[in-house]
Amino acid sequence: MTDASNTMWGGRFASGPAAIMEEINASIPFDKKLYAQDIAGSKAHAAMLAETGIISAKDRDEIVHGLNTILSEIESGAFEFSRRLEDIHMNVESRLAALIGPAAGRLHTARSRNDQVAVDFRLWVKAESEKTVVALSRLIAAFLDRAEEHASTVMPGFTHLQTAQPVTFGHHCMAYVEMFARDRSRFADAIERMDECPLGAAALAGTGFAIDRAMTAKALGFREPTRNSIDSVSDRDFALEFMAAAAICATHLSRFAEELVIWSTPQFGFIRLSDAFSTGSSIMPQKRNPDAAELVRAKTGRINGSLIALLTVMKGLPLSYSKDMQEDKEAVFDAAETLELCLAAMTGMALDLTVDKAAMKRAAGAGYSTATDLADWLVREAGLPFREAHHVTGRAVAAAEAKGVPLSKLTLGELQAIHPAITGAVYSCLTVEKSAASRTSFGGAAPAQVKKQVRYWRKRLAKG
C-alpha cells in the first residue's frame, strides 16, 4: 500500500504507511476482542455528550443506533475488520461513519484513543477478574467436598517429600482451600483498585469541554472516575495485578497438579484419575498418563511468561502513553484464557479423582511417621524434656529399623529397655489414626478440626 492515505490520521501524513509499518502497527487481529467494551464505552460517552449539551440528542440517537448495528454485525460474524484501520477503535469509527454519516465524527469529541483503549482494556480485565473469582469459588467448593468426604482418610504428610507425620487427605485438601481462597481475595482486591474509569482523560491532559466523567463512570459500572489524566492513560497496573494474581494462582494449581502426577504413579497409588482426565500410550497398552495434570503444570510457565513480558514492556516507559503499550493485550488475553482453562481442568480433576484409602494408610505408617507422637508422649506423660524425648525416640526408631518393624510392633520390654518411664499406654499414640486424631490444635489435622474448617469456609463462600 503506497498510494492511499489513511484518512483517519488526517492531513499530517501525505501517504499511507509502508507495508511493514502497517504490519507492525496494526493491533486489530487481537484487540478486536475488545469490541463489546469499545462499543459500550462509546455509547456511554455519546450519552454523556448529549446530556452535557456538547452534542445534540439527535446525534446521540443516531450514534447509539449505529453502534448497536455494529455490535450486531460483529456478533453475527458479518463485520469485516480491516488491518488498514489499525485497531478496534478505528474499525468501529469507520463503520459508524459509513452507517450514519457526519454525526459519527462528533462521537470522538472530548476523548482520545488513549483514554478509549484504557477504558476498554480496564473493562475487559475487570470482567475477567470477576469471572476468575467465580471460577475459584467453584474450585474451592470442589476441594471442600473432597475434604469433608475424606476428613478421616489417613495419609502421610510430607516435608522434603519424605514421610513426616500422619495427616488426613481432608486436611491436605484444606491446604489448597486456603491457597485458592487467597487467590480469590487477590482478584477481588484487584477489582477494587481497577474500579476507576479513565474515560475523559483524553490524550493525557483532560479536555476543555464541560464533560461529566462521573456520569460515564457510573454508566460503565465503575465506582468513580480516575483522578489524574496522565496516570489514567499510562497506567497498566490493573493488567499487571491481574497477571500477578494469575501467576500465583497458576503456581498453586501447578503444585496440586504435581501431586496428582506423583500420587497416580504405581509407586504411590494414592489416587486414580478417570479416562476423562487421562490418556494412554501409543506403544505401551498398560499406561494411564495424567496428561491433564501435566498440562496444567506446564501452562503455569506460559502465564508466568506473560507477566514478565508486560513487566518488561512497562519498566522503562516515560509518562504518559507510548505505543509500546499496544503489546499489553496479547499477554493478558493469553494469560486469562490459559488460567480459565486450568481452573476448569483442576476443578474437574478434584471432583473426578478416586482415592485409594488403603494405599494412603499403608504409606502413612511407613517411615516411622508416628515417631513425633512417641516423643510428645514422653514429654506429656513421662515428663521428659523434649530434647531428651527426641533422643529416646531416635533410639526407638533405630531399634525398630533393626528389627524391620514399625514402632507399634516393638514390645513393651524393648521400649522400656530404651527408657524405663515408657508404659503400655504409649501404644495408644503409635497408630496413624490416633496420631492424626491427636492433632487437635486450631487448624490441625484432626478430623474434627478438618470438619470445623470445612464449615467455616462453606459459610465464607456463601457470604461471597
**Catalytic residue from among 15, 56, 281, 322:** 281
DSSP-assigned states of every residue in 170-238 = HHHHHHHHHHHHHHHHHHHHHHHHH-EE-TT-TTTT--SS---HHHHHHHTT-SEE-S-HHHHHH--HH
Q: Mean pLDDT of all residues in the chain?
A: 92
CB contact set of 323 (below 8 Å; sequence gap of 6+): none
Q: Which amino acid, 123?
A: L
**Which tens digit of pLDDT belongs to each residue from 100-139?**
999 999 999 999 999 999 999 999 999 999 999 999 999 9
pLDDT of residue 279: 64
pLDDT of residue 250: 98
Question: Is 160 an active-site residue?
Answer: yes
Tell me the pLDDT band of 12, cut-offs 50, 70 and 90: low
Task: Considering only residues 15 and 433, tell me which one the structure prediction assigns the higher pLDDT.
Answer: 433
Tell me the pLDDT band of 21, cut-offs 50, 70 and 90: confident
Name the phi and psi angles at 162, rounded to 5. -110, 145
Tell me the pLDDT band of 2, cut-offs 50, 70 and 90: very low
**Which tens digit of pLDDT belongs to each residue from 265-307?**
999 999 999 988 876 554 554 557 889 999 999 999 999 999 9
**Catalytic residue from among 76, 160, 282, 441:** 160
**Which tens digit of pLDDT belongs to each residue from 171-228?**
999 999 999 999 999 999 999 999 999 999 999 999 999 999 999 999 999 999 999 9
Tell me the pLDDT band of 20, cut-offs 50, 70 and 90: confident
Answer yes or no: are the C-beta atoms of 119 and 198 closer than 8 Å: yes
